[in-house]
Chains A and B, each alone.
Chain A
Amino acid sequence: MATVRTIVLPHYPSYPIHVCMFKDVSNAAFLRSQLLEANPDFDYAFLDAAMILSPQHLLSAAFLALHCTQVARAKTRTAHSELVFRLHPNNNIGESYRKFGISDKTSALIAVKLALKPETTAQVVAEHLGEHVKGESADPGEALEHVGMWCDVGKVRKMYKLEGVGEPKKGKRGAIVNGNASDMDERKEMESVITGIITLKGS
């Protein structure tokens, strides 16, 4: 059994989102092969935990993925692939999977299941993932507050080209605007730019 946290997005109450986290995953190659085979049992969004900055980051992509599939404007075949696709700033599905998806070497994993059918309950997801993912389950937190704990901030910064965003500035003019820029939370700043980039993607 894996620890599953369920998030209900405002405005999409009928499609809850189940999130699991695993560390020291040893069978990433197997999970990836299941995705490549498009095995319907493994219809999850397996994400590299190093690339997820914060709950807002994950949820904004999840919201748009869900929204796009609901209004039939999705670019990919399933809601889960849409989620992985949505995370990447460019319009390349393969690239999205390489950067944000699971790779053979991935050890820290975030598994997301969009419950498009009511029978996909947290219980089902927990059992299924607990059985097939070989790794130690971790708690994402009630509001997914721990979802960014394995994040590689440098990698995310590079991905979204956020050089200088939220970084403590040294003598640059930007720091003195409004006087209190220095104590702004770095991740918070990055996150607010990233949600914008994700929203603007493909337009």
Chain B
Amino acid sequence: MALPTDDNADTASSTSTYVHKLPEPFTTSDLVVLTQGAEGLVYRTTFLTPNTPCVLKYRPPKPYRHPTLDKRLTKARLLAEARVLVKCRREGLQVPAVLGGDWEDGWLALEWVDGRTVREVLDIWVHKLGMRARDGKPDETTGGASEGDVEAQKKEQEERLWEMMRKVGRAVGRLHEIGVCHGDLTTSNLMIRHERSTQPSSQPSTENVRPRGRQTVSTMREAAMNGEGPPQYPSADATSRSNEPEDLLEGAIVMIDFGLATQTVQDEDRAVDLYVLERAFTATHPAAEHLFQEAMRVYGETFKGAKKVLKRLADVRLRGRKRTMIG
């Protein structure tokens, strides 16, 4: 499958122009590219039954590495990710389930999570608030509601946002409690699952899934730091796009992308996880800092050592996430 090529890709690497041939049995399948990371590609396809959507993570062999080393690295990384996911799932955490995989060929099939990333939801929310402020009081003109009603409505909406942050704090707390550190905890790697009574769309709808340009982990992080426009994640269907942000905040927090996750119980690693998340939140909107404090307050209550981690977080804030600054 050919990848969307960037105009400025010549300096980036040959991987963006490299035509990836997927391993068996996906060679003949029609897959939709969702995104490209630094080491792999993410596709949407179906697995086990024609109406089970799934995410296929494929780590292609790297031509610049020694074949033996390449195989070992790919295998170790895929296995680490799958093991962490299964461990989380056993403990009842909301993460995508592992449906299948092949380490030798470098692919992993994961459950499709229906919903949006926290990143997107916050962006929409911030955007809406900005609109409201500019338009004066649009609610008044449409509904003829009194001043108090508008205030109450706003309060209620805010309360939903706070509740979402509490859920984030609880989810991260549980993750750390079971001895897993995510390694790349950003708002783009947190999703809000859409609870839907109806069956998920039976066919992967190609028309709604727009492949994004080359987006490596580093460019995404850079974008997050600079507070640039939101990455356009393809949503499961077009109808969910028109939902009000109030609805978007409803649903369980699902953590995704455990490609850099490690099994560790060290306060340092946990604090760095939180630090990365804090940076991601504050990059979205200045107001998000208060929100993040609420998440941390709840985090502090989730497990026994959590308070110590928060103390450690203060240290990390002072020096950045790299502890050893050699070289």
Interface residues of A (CB under 8 A from B): 7-12, 55-56, 59-60, 63-64, 67, 70-71, 73, 143, 162, 164-166, 169, 173-174, 176-181, 189, 192-193, 195-197, 199-200, 203
Map CB proximity to A onto B258-283 as digits: 1 under 8 Å, 0 otherwise.
00000000000000000000000000
A200 x B79 contact (CB < 8 A): yes
B49 x A177 contact (CB < 8 A): no
A-B contact sample (15 more), CB < 8 A, given A181-B92, A195-B97:
A60-B99, A63-B100, A67-B24, A71-B105, A162-B90, A165-B89, A165-B92, A177-B170, A177-B174, A178-B252, A179-B167, A189-B89, A196-B98, A196-B99, A200-B82
- Please tell me if B46 contacts chain A, counting CB pairs below 8 Å: yes
Cβ contacts A to B, 9 pairs, < 8 Å: A9-B49, A10-B46, A67-B25, A70-B25, A166-B92, A180-B252, A196-B97, A199-B100, A200-B86
- Enumerate chain A residues within 8 angstroms of B162, measured Cβ to Cβ: none
Chain A nearest Cβ from B231, distance in angstroms: 24
Query: Ordered nearest first, which 8 A-B pairs have the shortest CB separation?
Result: A192-B97, A196-B98, A196-B86, A178-B252, A11-B25, A10-B46, A59-B48, A174-B92
A199 x B101 contact (CB < 8 A): yes
A195 x B100 contact (CB < 8 A): yes
A177 x B111 contact (CB < 8 A): no
A70 x B24 contact (CB < 8 A): yes
- Enumerate chain B residues within 8 angstroms of A180, measured Cβ to Cβ: 195, 252
A178 x B100 contact (CB < 8 A): no
- Enumerate chain A residues within 8 angstroms of B99, measured Cβ to Cβ: 56, 60, 195-196, 199
Q: How far does the alpha carbon of A7 sit from the alpha carbon of B52 in the complex, in Å?
A: 13
B92 x A143 contact (CB < 8 A): no
Q: How far does the alpha carbon of A116 sit from the alpha carbon of B128 in the complex, in Å?
A: 56
- Enumerate chain B residues within 8 angstroms of A67, measured Cβ to Cβ: 24-25, 100, 102
Q: How far does the alpha carbon of A179 sit from the alpha carbon of B302 in the complex, in Å?
A: 13
- Please tell me if B10 contacts chain A, counting CB pairs below 8 Å: no
- Please tell me if B233 contacts chain A, counting CB pairs below 8 Å: no
- Please tell me if B93 contacts chain A, counting CB pairs below 8 Å: yes
B86 x A177 contact (CB < 8 A): no
Q: How far does the alpha carbon of A164 sit from the alpha carbon of B89 in the complex, in Å?
A: 11
Interface residues of B (CB under 8 A from A): 24-26, 28-29, 45-50, 52, 79, 82-83, 85-86, 89-94, 97-105, 111, 167, 170-171, 174, 195, 252-253, 302
Q: How far does the alpha carbon of A73 sit from the alpha carbon of B302 in the complex, in Å?
A: 44
Of B24, B52, B89, chain A has the most CB atoms within 10 Å of the CB of B89
B24 x A178 contact (CB < 8 A): no
B90 x A165 contact (CB < 8 A): yes
- Enumerate chain A residues within 8 angstroms of B83, measured Cβ to Cβ: 200
Q: How far does the alpha carbon of A32 sit from the alpha carbon of B228 in the complex, in Å?
A: 64
Q: How far does the alpha carbon of A23 sit from the alpha carbon of B92 in the complex, in Å?
A: 34
Q: How far does the alpha carbon of A193 sit from the alpha carbon of B111 in the complex, in Å?
A: 11
Chain A nearest Cβ from B64, distance in angstroms: 25
A196 x B82 contact (CB < 8 A): yes
B101 x A59 contact (CB < 8 A): no
Chain B nearest Cβ from A155, distance in angstroms: 18
Closest A residue by C-beta to B96: A192
Closest A residue by C-beta to B175: A177
Q: How far does the alpha carbon of A169 sit from the alpha carbon of B29 in the complex, in Å?
A: 42
Closest A residue by C-beta to B23: A71
A197 x B25 contact (CB < 8 A): no
Q: How far does the alpha carbon of A203 sit from the alpha carbon of B103 in the complex, in Å?
A: 9
Closest A residue by C-beta to B94: A178
Other-chain contact of A9, B48, B104, B170 (Cβ < 8 Å): B48
Chain A nearest Cβ from B169, distance in angstroms: 11
Closest A residue by C-beta to B86: A196
- Enumerate chain A residues within 8 angstroms of B49, measured Cβ to Cβ: 7, 9-10, 55-56, 59, 143
Other-chain contact of B90, A56, A181, A193, A199 (Cβ < 8 Å): A193
Q: How far does the alpha carbon of A174 sit from the alpha carbon of B111 in the complex, in Å?
A: 21
